[in-house]
Chains A and B, each alone.
Chain A
């Protein structure tokens, strides 16, 4: 069966510090991978998605970047965090036009 992992689960970072969030998927190959952000009390905003290694599509211009160094690994990064980067970050995977599956999320607080 397939599983998706995210770490860390929670993170508190000062403004201006770097960020690296990791997502890995097990039990499938060549999935589409997604990064979403959910601000408090709001819906999910699609940040990045990837259909293959090294292929990244950005949905919203922002302070973040994404990379896919391996087939089942997706990384979300920032060089300098802003207060507005605080939120709940969710990784997801999908094959074809099937169901999208989500990870447990990372709660990021920027102080």
Chain B
């Protein structure tokens, strides 16, 4: 069964810092990997989807990389803003299913 670990569990930084969130997974036979953002009491919002054949995806200040063979993905957030405060979840996918980590709770201080 796929096990997903996200480090750190929580992170508090001043505004403007560049951040790296880490995700590791035990089964490298994945179809793709998705990064989500969750605001308190809300559903999940998709940030980036990386197909298994890709190495990285970029959207604005966000960049996600995937190293399938080592079972790792990182989400890089450039020039963090208070509006980036949320929980970030990574989810590698198997056939018809996504597996979720417990997330990294990010607080960006003004």
List residues of A whose CB falls within 8 A of some B CB.
32, 34, 36, 42-44, 46, 49, 51, 57, 59, 88, 90, 92, 97-105, 107
Contact = CB atoms under 8 A, between A and B. Distances in A.
Interface of chain B, helix or strand or loop or mixed? strand
Interface residues of B, number: 24
A107 to B, nearest CB: 7
A34 B34 CA distance: 16
A97 B101 contact: no
Contacts of B43: 90, 102-105
Contacts of B81: none
Interface in B16-66: 31-32, 34, 36, 41-46, 49, 51
B19 to A, nearest CB: 20
Contact of B97 (A43, A49, A98, A103): A49
